[in-house]
């Protein structure tokens, strides 16, 4: 198809709105829930511009990128509303279109209002295809979106021309690691180091990391064990016209991602404090009475009517909030849901100590004395304490050092015997491989 024919096809697509939106879920591993969906656009199925690569390339060449992106947003919002999807809607927008002189501010907000979508449920996902030079202009454009309640995500981190500087300048709410660093991460220690560095930088900048482009179970397992909580890719779910609503139908079974350490430690059972929770309609006055009655009580989980955690109340945070002028008079008789924090760590009972430790340390806003919520199959089970977690992991490391071979760090006779005894006592099949290496003693010495 010639360029002229492609331009003509683009004219027809934009004139008739002949675009189709599909959605790929982004899942939270710790909460086993769907955070939201990335909207992806396809052209007419019988057109050479069906592929988004061809479609956006010809639009950029024709100087109609902003027009195409606006049409894509319209299609995505309309379809998102028709499907009744919940969670966040991730919309791809290029910095180029935001900084075009004829870019019309306010169109996206009006579009969302038409389709009944709150701006707080929308993430503007910046995809960089060419160098960004005017960071101040881009920041001004994004400030306009932030002021209306939108979140910002930086796509393809590590692949763009200036993605690290964009991160530093724009301070996005989400960063998506480029597929290159996910591909074969289980075989490449350098890629694991890169992702580890991203997690540390995200913690410092209060951003959440999304690993996209996961295509293999081995990649999924490595990322999960590294503490990456938000995941996206073909291994979990391909982009679909009718995307799933329940993460449980697309995530691997929880025991398939657990570390071997969780087998030894019995999951989080040792950390669980079956602390009674409160309902979202409980008044602030009643919560204050509960804290006054028990000086050892530091945290209360807030549940909805289905015993699902929706927030958390820390003693020190509540005290600080009520110290503000007129706060006590305003909030004392109001539901605690008005003052609870929705920014908390929630983990499943089946997760390993190492996974929870990584999630805990990746949260810059998590104070060491703050408790976290533990759930069993999504329902509230109790609270966990960071200090208890650190103690258990320290004890486990000491135990491993005591029973490991000092040279190879492989398990010694004691843990091997314990593991064999455990395998024999369980009502399931087990495979055992015995390897005897001749003349190894000289190497060992």
Residue 123 vs residues 66, 89, 169, 320: alpha-carbon distances, Å: 18, 6, 18, 31
pLDDT at residue 329 greater than cutoff 50: yes
Q: What is the pLDDT of residue 117?
A: 93
The pLDDT tens digits of the residues spanning 13-26 come to: 888 878 999 999 99
Separation between Cα atoms, residue 93 and residue 151, nearest integer Å: 13
How much is the average pLDDT of 416-428?
83
How much is the average pLDDT of 283-296?
92
Angle of the 65-83 helix axis to the 107-115 helix axis, nearest 10:
20
Q: Specify the higher pLDDT residue, 382 or 166.
A: 382
Separation between Cα atoms, residue 332 and residue 304, nearest integer Å: 20
Residue 315 vs residues 71, 289, 297, 343: alpha-carbon distances, Å: 48, 11, 8, 15
pLDDT at residue 432 greater than cutoff 90: no
Query: Where do we find the tokens 């021309």?
Result: 161
Q: What is the 3-state secondary structure (H, E, C) of the chain?
A: CCHHHHHHHHHHHHHHCCCEEEEEEEEECCCCEEEEEEEEEECCCCCCCCCHHHHHHHHHHCCCHHHHHHHHHHHHHHHHHHHCCCCEEEEEECHHHHCCCCCCCCHHHHHHHHHCCCHHHEEEEECCCCCCCCHHHHHHHHHHHHHCCCEEEEEEECCCCCHHHHHHHHCCCEEEECHHHHCCHHHCHHHHHHHHHHHHHHHHHCCEEEECCCCCHHHHHHHHHHCCCEECCCCCCCCECCCCCCHHHCCCCHHHHCCHHHHHHCCCHHHCECCCCEECCCEHHHHHHHHHHCCCCCEEEEECCCCCEEEEEEHHHHHHHHCCCCHHHHHCCCEHHHCCECCCCEEECCCCHHHHHHHHHCCCCCCCCCEEEEEECCEEEEEEEHHHHHHHHHHHHHHHHHHECCCCCCECHHHHHHHHHHHHHCCCCCCCCCCCCCCCHHHHC
Residue count of the chain: 445
| pLDDT confidence tier of residue 287, bands split at 50, 70 and 90 | very high
pLDDT at residue 365 greater than cutoff 60: no
The pLDDT tens digits of the residues spanning 23-56 come to: 999 999 888 899 999 999 998 887 778 888 888 8
Determine contact, residues 19/25, Cβ cutoff 8 Å.
Answer: no
Q: What is the pLDDT of residue 105?
A: 65
Separation between Cα atoms, residue 73 and residue 20, nearest integer Å: 11
| pLDDT confidence tier of residue 400, bands split at 50, 70 and 90 | low
Say what percent of the chain tops pLDDT 90: 33
pLDDT at residue 263 greater than cutoff 50: no
| pLDDT confidence tier of residue 101, bands split at 50, 70 and 90 | low
For the chain, the average pLDDT equals: 83
How much is the average pLDDT of 175-196?
91
Determine contact, residues 369/298, Cβ cutoff 8 Å.
Answer: yes
Looking at 92-106, 191-205, 216-230, which range is the least confident one?
Answer: 92-106
Separation between Cα atoms, residue 273 and residue 242, nearest integer Å: 40
Q: Specify the higher pLDDT residue, 428 or 115.
A: 115
Q: What is the pLDDT of residue 227?
A: 84
Determine contact, residues 235/217, Cβ cutoff 8 Å.
Answer: yes
pLDDT at residue 259 greater than cutoff 50: no
pLDDT at residue 136 greater than cutoff 80: no
The pTM assigned to this predicted structure is: 0.64
Looking at 54-68, 347-361, 377-391, which range is the least confident one?
Answer: 347-361
| pLDDT confidence tier of residue 256, bands split at 50, 70 and 90 | very low
Q: What is the residue extent of each domain of the chain?
A: 3-253, 269-391, 406-444
pLDDT at residue 368 greater than cutoff 80: no
Fold of 3-253: TIM Barrel (3.20.20)
| pLDDT confidence tier of residue 171, bands split at 50, 70 and 90 | confident
Its CATH architecture, for the domain 269-391, is Roll (3.10)
Looking at 262-271, 291-300, 403-412, 434-443, which range is the least confident one?
Answer: 262-271
Q: What is the pLDDT of residue 140?
A: 76
| pLDDT confidence tier of residue 265, bands split at 50, 70 and 90 | very low
Q: How many CA atoms lie within 13 A of 153 on its CB side?
A: 29
pLDDT at residue 366 greater than cutoff 70: no
Q: What are phi and psi of 195, to 5 degrees?
A: -65, -40
pLDDT at residue 266 greater than cutoff 60: no
Residues in CB range of 89: below 8 A, 6 or more apart = 36, 37, 39, 76, 77, 80, 117, 121, 122, 123
């Amino acid at each position: 198809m010639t360029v002229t024919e492609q331009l003509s096809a683009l004219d027809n697509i934009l004139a008739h709105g002949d675009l189709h939106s599909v959605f790929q879920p982004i899942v939270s591993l710790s909460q086993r829930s769907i955070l939201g969906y990335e909207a992806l656009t396809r052209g007419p199925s019988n057109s050479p511009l069906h592929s988004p690569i061809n479609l956006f390339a010809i639009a950029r060449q024709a100087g109609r990128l902003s027009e195409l992106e606006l049409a894509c947003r319209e299609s995505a919002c309309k379809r998102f509303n028709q499907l009744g999807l919940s969670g966040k809607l991730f919309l791809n927008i290029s910095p180029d279109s935001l900084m075009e002189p004829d870019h019309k501010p306010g169109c996206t907000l009006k579009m969302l209002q038409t389709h009944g979508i709150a701006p707080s449920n929308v993430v503007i996902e910046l995809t960089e295809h060419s160098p960004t030079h005017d960071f101040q202009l881009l920041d001004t454009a994004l400030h306009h979106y932030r002021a209306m309640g939108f979140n910002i995500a930086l796509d393809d981190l590590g692949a763009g021309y200036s993605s690290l500087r964009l991160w530093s300048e724009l301070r996005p709410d989400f960063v998506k690691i480029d597929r290159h660093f996910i591909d074969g991460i289980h075989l490449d220690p350098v890629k694991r180091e890169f992702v580890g560095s991203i997690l540390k930088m995200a913690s410092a900048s209060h951003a959440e990391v999304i690993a996209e482009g996961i295509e293999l179970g081995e990649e999924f397992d490595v990322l999960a064990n590294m503490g990456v909580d938000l995941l996206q890719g073909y291994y979990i779910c391909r982009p679909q016209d009718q995307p799933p609503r329940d993460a449980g139908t697309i995530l691997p079974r929880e025991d398939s991602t657990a570390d071997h350490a969780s087998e030894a430690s019995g999951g989080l059972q040792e950390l669980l404090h079956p602390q009674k929770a409160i309902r979202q309609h409980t008044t602030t006055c009643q919560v204050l009475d509960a804290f006054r009655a028990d000086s050892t009580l530091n945290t209360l989980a807030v549940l909805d009517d289905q015993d699902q955690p929706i927030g958390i109340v820390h003693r020190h945070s509540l005290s600080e909030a009520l110290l503000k002028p007129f706060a006590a008079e305003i909030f004392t008789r109001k539901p605690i849901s008005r003052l609870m924090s929705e920014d908390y760590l929630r983990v499943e009972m089946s997760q390993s100590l190492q996974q929870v430790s990584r999630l805990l340390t990746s949260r810059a806003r998590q104070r060491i004395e703050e408790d976290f919520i533990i759930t069993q199959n999504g329902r509230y089970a109790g609270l966990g304490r960071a200090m208890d977690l650190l103690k258990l992991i320290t004890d486990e490391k000491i135990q491993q050092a005591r029973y490991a071979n000092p040279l190879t760090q492989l398990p010694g006779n004691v843990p091997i015997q314990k593991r064999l005894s455990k395998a024999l006592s369980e009502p399931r099949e087990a495979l055992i491989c015995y390897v005897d290496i001749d003349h190894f003693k000289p190497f060992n010495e």
